[in-house]
Structure 1
Amino acid sequence: MNSLLSLLPYLKKYRKKIFIGYIFILLHLGLISIYPLIIGDAIDKITAGIYGSPVYMDILYALLLTVAGGFFLFLTRQNIIVMSREVENDLRFDFFSHLQKLSRSFFNKNSTGDLMARATSDINNIRNFVGPGIMYSLQTSTRLTITLIILFNINAFVTLVALIPLPVITILVYKIGKFTFKRSLKVQESFSDMTAKVQESFSGIRVIKTFVREKFEFEQFDVISKDNFKKNLNLAKIQSFSFPMMFLLTGISIILVIYFGGIRVMVGQMTYGNISEFIIYLGHLTWPMIAFGWIINLFQRAAPSMERLLQINNSEPEISNSSITDYEIKENEIKGEIIFENLSFKYPGSDNYVLKDINLKINRGSSLGIIGHTGSGKSTLINLLPRVFDPTEGNIYIDGVNIKKFEVKLLRDIIGIVPQESFLFSNTIEKNIAYSDDKPNPEEVLIAAQSAGLYKDIINFPYQFHTILGERGITLSGGQKQRTSLARAIYKKPVILILDDSLSAVDTNTEEEILNELKTIMHNRTSIIISHRISTIKNSNNIIVLKDGIISEQGTHNELLTKKGFYFDLYQKQLLEDEITNT
C-alpha cells in the first residue's frame, strides 16, 4: 500500500488544481445540503395548511440550489479529473523515459507485452485512483461531515439510531478490500501475459502463416484469455457483493429513521418536514457509503498497479555514468584508436566465457575484419565497445582512455553500428536514414543513400525518400533493409563504424560497390567489419579469426592465406562455391 505514496510528487505538482477543486466541492456540497431543509420547510407549511406563494418560493429556491450545486460539481470535475489525466500523462512519460535508460539485459528479461500492460492498464488503474478516487474521497468525507452535523442538530437520538449499520459497513469494506487487492494483482499479471502473447503473435504473424499454425496460436491464446476471464470474474464477484450490501445497510438506516422518527413526530418532538429532511439526508449518505466501498476498490486496484510500475521505475541501468566519468572528453577530440586489453567476457548468470583473453589493437583510421564460426563471439566483441555490456575481465581503450571514463551518450554517439537484424521504424525512408538527427538534412540523406547503394532503389519508389515504410520496414526486401540500416549509420558520420554481418543479404556486385564507397567515407575513420564472406573483409588492414572466444589467427588477407589455417580453408571453400555458382 505504501507504493501509492510515490504519487505524492505528482500530486504536489498539481496541488493548485486539487485545492481549487476542493473549494468547488465545498460550494457544491454546501448548496445541495441546504435544499433538504427547504423541502422540509415546504412540507411543514403544507401540513400547517399554508399554500401558494410561500411554498412556490421554497420550490424555486430548491431548484436554484440544485442547479448551482450541479454547476460547481462540473467545475470540480474540470479541475480534479483533468488533473488526473495530467498525472497519467506524467506517469506514462516518466515510465517510457526510464525504459529508454535501461540496459539491454533488462529487456532480455522482460517481455514487450508485459511492459505494454504496465504502460496502459496499470497506469489507467492509477489514474482512476488519482482522479475519481481523490475526488470522491474528498466529496464523501466532506458530505458525511456536513450531513451528520445537520442531522445531529435536527435530532441527535434518531441520528445515532440511523448510524447503527455504520460499523458493519466499515468491517465489510475492510474485508472486501483485502480480497480485492490480492485478486487485482492476479488480474494485472494475467493481463500482462495476454498482452505479451498478442504482441508476440502479431510480430511473428508471417512465421505463423508460413507454418500454418493459426489454429495452434488461437488455442494458446484461448487458454490465456480464459485464465484472464476467470481472474476478472473472481474480482467481479467480490465487487458485486459489496454494492448490494451497501444498499441493504443504508436501507436499514432509512427504516430505522422512519420508525423512530415517526414516534418522535407522534410525541411532538419532530415534524413531518424533519422526517422528510432525514430521509433526503440519508439519501445523501447512501452514495458516500457506496462510494466509500468503490473508493476502496479503486485504492486496492491502484496499489498493485503502482507496485508493478515501481518495479520498473526503481530498476537501475547496469551501464551508466559513474564517479570516474570524465565529462571533459569532447567528441571532436576523439581519433578512433581502439585497444582490447586482456579482455574476457561471460554473460550474466553463465559460467562459460564467450570471449577469453582478447588482446587487440585497431589503429586510428584503419579497418579490421572479423571472421569465425557462428557462436565464436564476433557480435559479443563489438557489443562491448559501445558498452551494451561491460567486460567481465580486462579493459577497452579508445585513444588510450578507458571507455568507462567516457559519458555513455558520447561513447555511443561516436560509434555507428549496423546490426545483423535491421530494424526500421514505421516512418519515411528519409527519417529512417536521418534517425540520429532531429532535423534531417536532405543532401546528407541523399549522400548516405548513394553510399549504401540504396539510391537506385529509392528513385523507383512512388514517393522516393518520403515513402512510408511498414512496421519494421516490412515493405522492403532483406537487402534494401540492410542498406537502409547502413545508410542510417553512414548519415551519423561516426568516428568508429561497425558492420555486423550487415551485407549478407546483398549480392557480391552491390557489396563491392558499397565497400568501395565506404573506403572514401571512412577515410581517417576506424571501421570494423564482421562477415562470413571473405570477399567482404579481404581488403581490411587487419583480419582476425575468432574461434571458441579466442583470436586463433591474425594478419592481412595474404598473411592469413600463407598460414594455411582456418582462414585459408574457408577461402578455398568459398572460391569453389563461387566457381560452381558461376558455372
Structure 2
Amino acid sequence: MDSLSYLNKYFLRYKKKLALGVLFILISNIAQVFIPIFLREGIDGIQQEVQYDKLFEYGLLIFVAAIIAGVFRFLIRQTIIVVSREIEYDLRQDFWAHIQKLSHRYFQNNSTGNIMAHATNDISAVRMYVGPAVMYSIDTVSKFIIIIAIMITISPLLTFYTLIPLPFLSYFVYQLSKKIHKKFTLIQESFSDLTTRAQENFAGIRVIKSYVREDGEIKNFTEQSEDYLNKTMDKVKIQALFQPILYTIAGLSVIIVVWAGGGMVIENLLTLGDISAFVIFLGMLIWPMIAFGWILNIIQQASASMKRLIKILHEELEIQDSKATRTIINSIKGRIEFKNVSFRYKNDLPDILDNISFSIEPGETIAIIGKTGSGKTTLLNLIPRLFDATNGDVLIDGYKIKEIPLKILRQNVGLVPQETFLFSDTLKNNILYGTKNGNDELVNHVAKISQLDKDVEGFPKGYETMLGERGITLSGGQKQRSCLARALAIDPKILILDDSFSSVDTNTEEEILKQLKEYMKDRTSIIVSHRISTVKDADKILVLHNGRIQEQGNHDELVSLGGIYADLHFKQLLEEELKELS
C-alpha cells in the first residue's frame, strides 16, 4: 500500500476540486438518509390518522430529498471522477517524459511489450484507485457513519444486533484481498509477456512469413494467451467469492432486524415506522458493505500496478546533465578526441573498447573499419552520449563530453544508425524530424545530397507520401538515404554514418560521397563501413580489432603496411574481379 502514497502529490494538485467532491458526497448522503426518516414519519402518521394532505406532504419531501441526492451524486462524478482522469493524464505524461530520458541501455534490457503494459494496463489500474476507489471510500465511510448514528438514535440494541455479522465480513475481505493482490501481480507480468510477443510478431512479420513460421508463432501465442487466461481465471475465482459472502452477511443482518425488531414492535418498544426505516437503512448499508470489498480489490490491484510504475519512475537517469555541465556552452565546432577510452556494457562483462585514443579536427573525415563485433558502433555511440565511457575521456572542442549540455551536443551530431528507423508519417516529416523550422527547400537540398530526389520523383505524392510502420513501404536503400537526409537536415557539426550505405549500390554510394565531400567541408565526418571503396578517401582510417586500434593511417599507408586493412582491400579487389569475369 505504501506505493500508493506516491500519488499524494497529484491529489494535492487538485485539492480544491476534490474538496468540492467530498462536500457533494456529504450533501448527497445526508439527503439520502432523510428518505427513510420521512418514510418513518409518514408510516407512523398514517397509523394514527389517514390524511391525503399528509401523504402528499411526505411524498413530496421524499421526492425532493431524492432529487437533491441525485443532483449532488451527478456533481460528485463531475468532480472526483474528472479529477481521476486528469491525474491519469498527468501520471501518463510524467511516465512518458521519464521514459524519454532513460538511457539507451534501459531499452536494450527491457522489452517494448513490457513498457507498453506499464503505460496502458498499470496506469488504468491506478486510475481506478484515484477515481472510483477514492470516491466510493469517502462515500461508503460517510454514509456508514451517518446511517449508524441515526440507527443508534432509533434503537441502540437493534443496531448492535445488526452489526454483529460485520467483523466476519472484514475478516473474509482481508483474506481475499491478500490473495487478489498476489494474483494481479502475476497477471500483469503475464500480460507484459503477451504484449511483448505480439509486438515482436508485428515487427518481424516478414521474417515469420519468409520462414513459414505462422503455425509456430500461433502456437506460442496461444500458449502465452492460455497462461494469461489461467492466471486471470485464478483471480476471477477468488473475486467470485466476494459477492456471495457479502450478500450472505447482509442477508443475516436483515434477518436479525426482522426477528429482533419485530419482537420490539410487538412489545411496543419500537413503532412500525421505526422498523421500516431500519430495514431501508440496512438496505442502504448493503452497498457500502459490498463497496468495501470492491474498493479493497481495486486498491490491491492499484497497489501492485503502482509498485511496477514506481520501479520505472525511480529508474536512475544514467545519461543527463550534471553539476559538471557548463551551461555557457551553446555551440560546438566539431573537434573530437578520445583519450584512453575503454567501455564495457556491464561490470561483469569484458571490455568492448580497450584504451582507445585518437583525435579528429573540424573538417576532417575519419573512417573506421573492422570485423563484426570489433566495437565500431559502440565507439560511435559514445560521441552523442548514448553511453558514457567506462574509463578515459571523450572530448569535444577540448571539453570533456559531460561538460557539454546534452541538448547542445545532440543538436550538433547527425547520426545515421546501422539499423534504419522511420516513423509512420510522410517522407517530408521524417526528413524534417530533427528540425524546428524546416521547409521544402531544405528537404529538396538534403534529398539531392543523399540521392533520394530521383526516387521521390517516381512517388505519386512526392515527399508527402505516407510511409508504413518503420518505413516498410520503402526499399532498404531508400530507407538508408532517407535517414541520411534526416541527419543532414539538422545541419550537424559532426556527421556519423554507421554502415549507412550497406543497402545502397556502389554507383549511388559514390555519388552520395561526392556530394557529402562538398557539404562536409567545415564539419567533422565519421564513416563506418565494411567496404574499402567507402572509406578509401578518408583523411584517416582506423582499423579496430578486438576493441583496440590495430592500425591507423590513410588508404595508401595502410595498404603498404600489409596488415588487416591491406588483406581486406585485396580480398575485395579479388571479389570485384571475379564478379566482372562472371
Q: Tell me what 2:10 maps to.
A: 10
1:141-152 superposed matches below 5 A: 141-152=141-152
Query: Aligned equivalents of 2:472 and 2:516: distance in 1?
Result: 26
The question of 1:41 aligning with 2:32 is answered no
CA deviations 1:278-308 (Å, max 9, x no partner) are 0100011000000001010011000010000
Q: CA deviation at 1:561?
A: 1.7
Is the partner of 2:175 in helix, strand or coil?
Answer: helix
TM-score of the aligned structures, taking structure 1 as reference length: 0.98
Q: Deviations over 1:179-207 (max 9, x none)?
A: 11111111111111111111111111111
How far residue 49 of structure 1 moved from its aligned partner, in angstroms, is 4.3
Aligned to 2:367: 369
Q: 1:554 maps to which residue?
A: 552
RMSD, aligned CA:
1.2
Aligned AA (1:87): I
For the pair 1:139 / 2:139, whether they are aligned, the reply is yes
Once structures 1 and 2 are overlaid, which stretch shifts more, 228-237 or 435-444? Answer: 435-444
State the 1:167 CA deviation. 1.1
* Shift, 1:352, TM fit: 1.9
Structure 1 SS opposite 2:240: helix
1:339-378 deviation digits (Å, cap 9, x = unpaired): 1111222221443222222121111110001111111111
Which digits, 9 at most, give the CA deviation of each residue in 1:93-112, with x for residues without a partner?
Answer: 11111011111111111111
Aligned to 1:570: 568
Is the contact between residue 113 and residue 195 of structure 1 (CA under 8 Å) also seen in structure 2? Answer: yes
Structure 2: which amino acid aligns with 1:493?
D
Distance in 1 (CA, whole Å) between partners of 2:577 and 2:558 is 22
Residue 494 in structure 1 maps to residue 459 in structure 2: no
After TM superposition, the structure 1 stretch with the greater mean CA deviation from structure 2, 370-379 or 129-138, is 370-379
Q: Deviations over 1:392-435 (max 9, x none)?
A: 22111111111121122222221111011100000111110111
Task: Give the whole-Å Cα distance in 2 for the aligned partners of 1:239 and 1:277.
Answer: 32
The worse-fitting range, judged by mean Cα deviation, of 533-542 and 559-568 is 559-568
Partners of 2:432 and 2:545 in 1: how far apart?
36
Cα distance in structure 2, aligned partners of 1:105 and 1:127: 30
Taking only the aligned residue pairs, the percentage that are identical comes to: 47
Letter in 1 for 2:508: T
Q: Given residue 359 of structure 1, which amino acid in structure 2 is its aligned partner?
A: S
**524-533 or 552-561: which moved more?**
552-561
Q: Which moved more, 1:487-496 or 1:190-199?
A: 190-199
Moved more, 190-199 or 122-131: 190-199
Runs of 4+ that moved beyond 6 A: none
Shift of 1:60: 2.5
Q: Which moved more, 1:545-554 or 1:342-351?
A: 342-351
What do the CA deviations read for 1:220-279 (whole angstroms, capped 9, x no partner)? 111111111111111111111111111111111111111111111112121111111001
More deviation, 389-398/151-160: 389-398
Aligned runs of 1:272-311 on 2, under 5 Å? 272-311=272-311
Deviation at 1:439, TM superposition (A): 4.2
Structure 1 stretch displaced more, 304-313 or 398-407? 398-407
1:490-569 to 2 correspondence within 5 Å? Answer: 490-569=488-567
1:105 matched to which residue of 2? Answer: 105
Match of 1:200 in 2: 200
User: 2:214 maps to which residue?
Assistant: 214
Q: Which residue of 1 is the match for residue 21 of structure 2?
A: 21
**Separation in 2 of the partners of 1:60 and 1:194?**
57
Could you say what secondary structure the match of 1:29 adopts? helix
Once structures 1 and 2 are overlaid, which stretch shifts more, 33-42 or 60-69?
A: 60-69
Aligned ranges 1:230-269 → 2 under 5 Å: 230-269=230-269
Change in CA separation of 1:336 and 1:74 when aligned onto 2, cut-off 3 Å: same
Answering whether residue 373 of structure 2 is matched by residue 395 of structure 1, we say no
CA contact (8 A) 1:431 1:440 kept: no
Partner of 2:342: helix, strand, or coil?
strand
Residue 148 of structure 1 and its aligned partner are, at CA, apart by 0.9
Q: Distance in 2 between matches of 1:169 and 1:313?
A: 37
What is the CA distance between 1:564 and its match in structure 2?
A: 2.1
Mapped contact 1:415–1:496 kept (Cα < 8 A): yes
The match for 2:172 is 172
Deviations 1:111-160 (A, max 9, x none): 11011001100110100011000000010011001101111111111111
* 1:113 and 1:193 in contact (8 A); partners too: yes
Give 3-state SS (helix, strand or coil) of 1:131's partner: helix
Q: How many aligned residue pairs are there? A: 581
The amino acid of 2:78's aligned partner reads Q
Pairwise CA distance, 1:576: 2.3
C-alpha contact (below 8 Å) 1:430/1:440 kept by paired residues: no
Residue 523 of structure 1 aligns to a residue in which SS? coil
Code of the residue aligned with 2:252 in structure 1: it is I
User: How far, CA to CA, are the matches of 1:48 and 1:245 in structure 2?
Assistant: 41
Q: In structure 1, the residue corresponding to 2:451 is in which secondary structure?
A: coil
- Aligned to 1:33, the other structure's residue is in SS state helix
Distance 2:117 2:193 in 1: 9
Paired letter, 2:565: Y
Aligned to 1:352: 350
Please tell me whether the aligned partners of residues 489 and 497 of structure 1 are also in contact (alpha carbons under 8 angstroms). Answer: yes
User: Separation in 2 of the partners of 1:57 and 1:220?
Assistant: 69
Q: Secondary structure at the match of 1:34?
A: helix
2:338 to 327, 337, 340: 340
The one-letter code sitting in structure 2 at the alignment partner of 1:77 is R
Question: Are positions 1:404 and 2:392 aligned together?
Answer: no
Report if the CA contact (8 A) 1:24-1:76 is conserved. Answer: yes
CA distance in 1, matches of 2:343, 2:461: 46
Mapping of residues 64-103 of structure 1, within 5 Å:
64-103=64-103
After TM superposition, give the deviation of residue 209 of structure 1 in Å: 1.0
Structure 2 Cα separation of the partners of residues 438 and 414 of structure 1:
14
Q: Distance in 1 between matches of 2:568 and 2:22?
A: 77
The amino acid of 1:408's aligned partner reads L
Instruction: Give the letter for the 2:525 counterpart.
Output: S
Query: In the alignment, does 2:190 pair up with 1:190?
Result: yes
Partner of 1:321: 321
Instruction: State the alpha-carbon separation in 2 of the partners of residues 498 and 189 from structure 1.
Output: 39
| Partners of 1:118 and 1:21 in 2: CA distance | 29
In the TM superposition, what whole-angstrom CA distance separates every residue of 1:11-50 from its partner, at most 9, and x where no partner exists? 1111111111111111111111101111222222333341
Match for 2:501: what amino acid?
L
Unaligned runs of 5+ in 1: none
Shift of 1:490: 0.3
Superposed CA offset, 1:149-175 (max 9, x none)? 111111111111111111111112211
Whole-Å separation in 2 of the counterparts to 1:147 and 1:69: 15
TM norm structure 2: 0.98
Q: Return the match for 2:459 from 454, 458, 461.
A: 461
Q: Secondary structure at the match of 2:542?
A: strand
Q: How many angstroms apart in 1 are the aligned matches of 2:17 and 2:464? A: 44
Aligned to 1:364, what secondary structure does the other structure show? coil
Structure 1 residues 558-567 or 541-550, which shifts more? 558-567
For residues 545-570 of structure 1, the C-alpha deviation after alignment (integer angstroms, 9 at most, x for no partner) is 11122212211112222222222222
- The amino acid across from 1:105 in the alignment is R
Letter in 2 for 1:452: S
